[in-house]
A and B are shown apart, each in its own frame.
Chain A
Amino acid sequence: MKYKFNVSQLYLFLNGTQGRTMNQLDLQNFEINQLLESIYFRYGYDFRNYARASLERKVIKRVALSGLSSVTEMNQKVLYEPEFFNLFLKDMSVTVTEMFRDPYVFKKIRQQVCSHLKTYSRINIWHAGCATGEEAYSIAVLLAEEDLLKRSRIYATDYNNHSLEIAKKGSYAIDKIAPYAQNYLEAGGQTCLSDYYQVHQQTISFHSSLQDHITFANHNLMKDQVFAQMHLIMCRNVLIYFNNALQERVVGLFKDSLVHRGFLVLGEKESLEFNAHGKAFEEFGKNERIYRKKSDL
């Protein structure tokens, strides 16, 4: 008998011998791997260690929105059109964030972490993965009310310049404010959130007295290093996007950046339980996911 295969049939045949058949989803996975390699090669952003399902969703959505026929076509555009890549980077930065999300966490910081921060003459806070800045302003408000803001510097960083531009402006749509104000009160707010911003038509802008203490800067947790010694690091709902390898890198950075007995705050569904650096921390607030760096032995 004489077999006659073209290359793709041969590929299917070989896959078949391994007990699986190549289907559309296997192909899509392969194409996405190539896309991530291209992005890393061309722009240095390493999404290869991102949790895949949410990333895949965004890629497929971008393919559809831009009227492309496949991920491979998107790959080509990413390689040759930086503007198109920026569009995708914007897709990657869309998150649902709010002020004082999980108010009980901010309440715990106010009631139990601030008393430790008070012992420092200068307080450095790193808000890693600040996105559009809502939480950075939240922590600034909290520090102001605890009379700590004047000796604090908040470094709010993100890899995404588009998000940082929004964060730097400190202006948000007014229709979002009502739930923020509610969260603020539940977090132990002492006055009214409106004391901290001005209203211009449909937006609110936070006072420059808060902004003066926040440095918004580009920092990429995927590849950049420690840049200062920190007393408190907030990194909430960022690790959920990373695979285990990248989570370990990032927690390692935090460990190196924190002062002796410094604090680390994670998102409510994140933990250090399975992290290689977890042993360097002790639980300070279990429900609030607040950790404290142990004494160096």
Chain B
Amino acid sequence: MNAFIEKKATYKALVVGVSAGGLKALCSILPKLPVGFPVSVIVVQHRKHMAGDYLIEYLAKRCQLAVQLALPSQPITPGSIYIAPTGYHLLVERNATFSLSIDARVNYSIPAIDVLFESAAICYQHQLIGLILTGANHDGSLGLKTVKKYHGLTLVQSPDSAEYPEMPDAAIAATQVDHILPLSQIASFLTRLLMGDDHG
């Protein structure tokens, strides 16, 4: 069943959830995604709410794809990397635009990975890829389960390659994930999957 879906699906979006140790993990994946990468990349990185948010700037300098803050009502276009703002939950509406909320924290977090993943799963269903990376909590495990429920593809960074293995461990415990990948291989796996064997 999975092989069938993987082969047949034309994916539209990749949601990424990452917490402690995230900067290093993101920097070993996002800069390697090539121009022409055919899906939208949407990232929740847990971090504190404050005025200056340097993550966007930092990643933009290193990535081939455009990196931007995810803002309300913005259409989500392929080949762009969107980062959830601090202090808000980021959600994907059914019409593939972003919305924000300051609803209660989920897993002590705002933005919460579960909130992004669950809303994106409703929008994109089998056309979604969910990826859980390093982190020291359990956020994202229910979200990844929802991605699986609607026949999306589920990926987790292998706990032994994670700076903080707790979040990958929790995701693996909650869901029969499709692929567990070492950090160094995630970018090439994604480009091969989405762009064919010539890439990655």
Contacts and interface: CB of A to CB of B under 8 A. Distances in A.
Given A54-B103, A95-B104, A29 B91 contact: no
B106 to A, nearest CB: 9
Contacts of B103: 54, 57-58, 94-96
Interface string B83-124: 001011101111000011111110000100001001100110
B88 A54 contact: no
Given A25-B125, A25-B150, A104-B51, A54 B71 contact: no
Given A269-B71, A269-B85, A269-B88, A56 B101 contact: no
A57 B118 contact: yes
B185 interface: no
A51 B99 contact: yes
A224 interface: no
A240 B99 contact: yes
Interface in B2-58: 51
A274 interface: yes
Contacts of B89: 54
A52 interface: yes
B73 A274 contact: yes
A53 interface: yes
B72 A94 contact: no
A241 B94 contact: no
A96 B105 contact: yes
A240 to B, nearest CB: 5
Contacts of A25: 122, 125, 150
A73 interface: no
Interface residues of A, number: 26
Interface string B72-88: 11000000000001011
Contacts of A58: 103
A58 B91 CA distance: 13
Given A25-B150, A51-B93, A269-B88, A240 B101 contact: yes
Contact of A53 (B94, B110, B125): B94
B94 A97 contact: no
Nearest to A244: B73
Contacts of B71: 269
A270 interface: yes
A282 interface: no
Given A94-B104, A104-B51, A269-B71, A54 B150 contact: no
Given A25-B122, A53-B94, A269-B88, A241 B104 contact: no
A46 interface: no
Contact of B102 (A56, A97, A103): A97
Nearest to B99: A51
A102 interface: yes
Given A53-B93, A54-B89, A57-B118, 14 more contacts: A25-B150, A51-B91, A52-B93, A54-B101, A57-B115, A94-B104, A95-B101, A95-B104, A96-B102, A96-B110, A237-B88, A240-B72, A269-B85, A269-B100
- In the A-B complex, list the 6 residue pairs whose CB atoms are closest, starting with the nearest: A53-B91, A54-B101, A51-B99, A53-B119, A240-B100, A94-B104
